[in-house]
Chains A and B, each alone.
Chain A
Amino acid sequence: MSAHLGNGESIALGDLPVLSVAALRDEVIGGVARGRRLAAYFGAGRRGDALRVVAVVAGDDDGELLACAADVSGSYDALTPDCPQAHWFERELAEQWGVEPRGHPWLKPIRRIPDAFFRVDGEEVHEVAVGPVHAGVIEPGHFRFQCHGEEVLHLEIALGYQHRGVERALVGGPDRRTLAYMETLAGDTTIGHALAHALVREALGGGGAPPRALAIAGIALELERLANHIGDLGALAGDVGFLPTAAYCGRIRGDVLNATAQLCGNRFGRGLVRPYGLDHDVDDALREDLQRRLAAARQDFAVADRLLWDSPSVMARFEGTGLLSLDVCDEIGLVGPAARACGAERDVRQNHPHGIYRFVHIPICTWPTGDVFGRAHVRSIEVQRSFAFIQELLDSLPGGPVALERPAPPAADRLAVALVEGWRGEICHVALTGADGRFARYKVVDPSFHNWFGLALAMRGQQISDFPLCNKSFNLSYCGHDL
Chain B
Amino acid sequence: MIKTTLARLQQKHRTTRYPDGPPPSLPDRYRGRPVIAAGACPEGCRQCADECPTGAITLEGSVGLDLGKCLFCARCEAVCPAQAIRFGRDHQLAASRREDLVLGPEGARLAVELSDRLRRLLGRSLKLRVVSAGGCNACEADTNVLSTVGWDLGRFGIQFVASPRHADGLLITGPVTAAMRPALRKTWEAVPEPKIVIAVGACAISGGPFLGHAEQHDGAASTVPVDLHIPGCPPHPLTILDGLLRLLGRIPEPEAGG
Residues in B204-224 with C-beta less than 8 Å from chain A? 208-210, 213-216
Q: Are A270 and B233 in contact, with the CB atoms below 8 A?
A: yes
Q: Are B179 and A163 in contact, with the CB atoms below 8 A?
A: yes
Q: Are A304 and B137 in contact, with the CB atoms below 8 A?
A: no
Q: Given the known A-B contacts A265-B29, A307-B3, are A180 and B137 also in contact in the complex, defined by CB atoms under 8 Å? A: no
Interface flags, A264-289, vs B, CB<8A=1, else 0: 11111011000000001000001000
Q: Which of B11, B72, B139, B144 contacts A300 (CB 8 A)?
A: B11
Q: Are B179 and A184 in contact, with the CB atoms below 8 A?
A: no
Q: Are B73 and A271 in contact, with the CB atoms below 8 A?
A: yes
Measured CB to CB, the closest approach of chain A to B187, in angstroms, equals 5
Q: Are B209 and A184 in contact, with the CB atoms below 8 A?
A: yes
Q: Given the known A-B contacts A137-B144, A307-B4, are A270 and B136 also in contact in the complex, defined by CB atoms under 8 Å? A: no
B115 within 8 Å of A by Cβ? no
Q: Given the known A-B contacts A136-B162, A139-B132, A307-B3, are A262 and B29 also in contact in the complex, defined by CB atoms under 8 Å? A: yes
By beta carbon, the residue of chain A nearest B14 is: A251
Q: Are A258 and B27 in contact, with the CB atoms below 8 A?
A: yes
A363 within 8 Å of B by Cβ? no
Binds A, one of B36-44, B51-59, B97-105, B248-256: B51-59
Cα–Cα, bound, A168→B216 (Å): 13
Q: Are B145 and A254 in contact, with the CB atoms below 8 A?
A: yes
Q: Are A165 and B214 in contact, with the CB atoms below 8 A?
A: yes
Cα–Cα, bound, A310→B3 (Å): 9
Q: Which of A184, A267, A268, A304 contacts B7 (CB 8 A)?
A: A304
Inter-chain contacts of B230 with A (CB < 8 A) = none
Q: Given the known A-B contacts A165-B216, A180-B53, are A267 and B210 also in contact in the complex, defined by CB atoms under 8 Å? A: no
Q: Given the known A-B contacts A186-B137, A187-B139, are A164 and B213 also in contact in the complex, defined by CB atoms under 8 Å? A: yes
Measured CB to CB, the closest approach of chain A to B203, in angstroms, equals 8
A140 within 8 Å of B by Cβ? yes
Q: Are A479 and B136 in contact, with the CB atoms below 8 A?
A: yes
Inter-chain contacts of B75 with A (CB < 8 A) = 176
Cα–Cα, bound, A248→B162 (Å): 23
Inter-chain contacts of B145 with A (CB < 8 A) = 250, 253-254, 257
Q: Are B148 and A247 in contact, with the CB atoms below 8 A?
A: yes
Inter-chain contacts of A139 with B (CB < 8 A) = 132, 135, 137, 140
Cα–Cα, bound, A42→B135 (Å): 25
Q: Are B209 and A180 in contact, with the CB atoms below 8 A?
A: yes
Inter-chain contacts of B7 with A (CB < 8 A) = 244, 248, 303-304, 306-307
Q: Are A251 and B132 in contact, with the CB atoms below 8 A?
A: no
By beta carbon, the residue of chain A nearest B31 is: A265
| Range for the number of chain B residues in contact with chain A | 35 or more
Interface flags, B133-165, vs A, CB<8A=1, else 0: 111111111111101111000000000101100
Q: Are A261 and B150 in contact, with the CB atoms below 8 A?
A: no
Inter-chain contacts of A186 with B (CB < 8 A) = 136-137
Inter-chain contacts of A176 with B (CB < 8 A) = 50-53, 75
Inter-chain contacts of B135 with A (CB < 8 A) = 139, 162, 187, 479
Inter-chain contacts of B11 with A (CB < 8 A) = 247-248, 251, 300, 303-304
Cα–Cα, bound, A181→B180 (Å): 20
Q: Are A164 and B210 in contact, with the CB atoms below 8 A?
A: yes
A160 within 8 Å of B by Cβ? yes
Cα–Cα, bound, A176→B54 (Å): 9
Measured CB to CB, the closest approach of chain B to A2, in angstroms, equals 34
Cα–Cα, bound, A86→B61 (Å): 56
Cα–Cα, bound, A179→B73 (Å): 10
B85 within 8 Å of A by Cβ? no
Q: Are B28 and A262 in contact, with the CB atoms below 8 A?
A: yes
B71 within 8 Å of A by Cβ? yes
Inter-chain contacts of A138 with B (CB < 8 A) = 132, 140
Measured CB to CB, the closest approach of chain A to B39, in angstroms, equals 26
A116 within 8 Å of B by Cβ? no
Q: Are B54 and A164 in contact, with the CB atoms below 8 A?
A: no
Cα–Cα, bound, A267→B234 (Å): 9
Inter-chain contacts of B177 with A (CB < 8 A) = 161-164
Cα–Cα, bound, A160→B181 (Å): 12
Q: Which of A113, A187, A188, A250 contacts B179 (CB 8 A)?
A: A113
Inter-chain contacts of A250 with B (CB < 8 A) = 145, 147-150
B18 within 8 Å of A by Cβ? no
Q: Which A residues fall within an 8 A CB radius of B? A: 112-113, 132-133, 135-140, 160-166, 168-169, 176-177, 179-181, 184-188, 190, 244, 247-248, 250-251, 253-254, 257-258, 261-268, 270-271, 280, 286, 300, 303-304, 306-307, 310, 477-479
Could you give 28 example pairs across A and B, Cβ below 8 Å? A133-B187, A136-B130, A136-B160, A138-B140, A140-B180, A161-B177, A161-B179, A162-B177, A164-B175, A164-B210, A165-B210, A169-B210, A177-B54, A179-B53, A180-B208, A186-B137, A251-B11, A258-B27, A262-B28, A262-B29, A264-B29, A266-B31, A266-B72, A268-B141, A270-B72, A270-B233, A478-B137, A479-B137
A137-B143, A250-B150, A267-B142 given; 20 more Cβ-contact pairs under 8 Å: A136-B130, A137-B147, A161-B179, A162-B180, A163-B177, A163-B178, A165-B215, A185-B136, A186-B136, A187-B139, A247-B11, A248-B7, A250-B145, A253-B145, A253-B148, A261-B30, A265-B29, A286-B28, A304-B7, A306-B7
Question: Top 10 A-B pairs ranked by shortest CB distance?
Answer: A187-B138, A187-B136, A265-B29, A165-B215, A135-B162, A261-B27, A250-B148, A180-B209, A184-B136, A137-B144
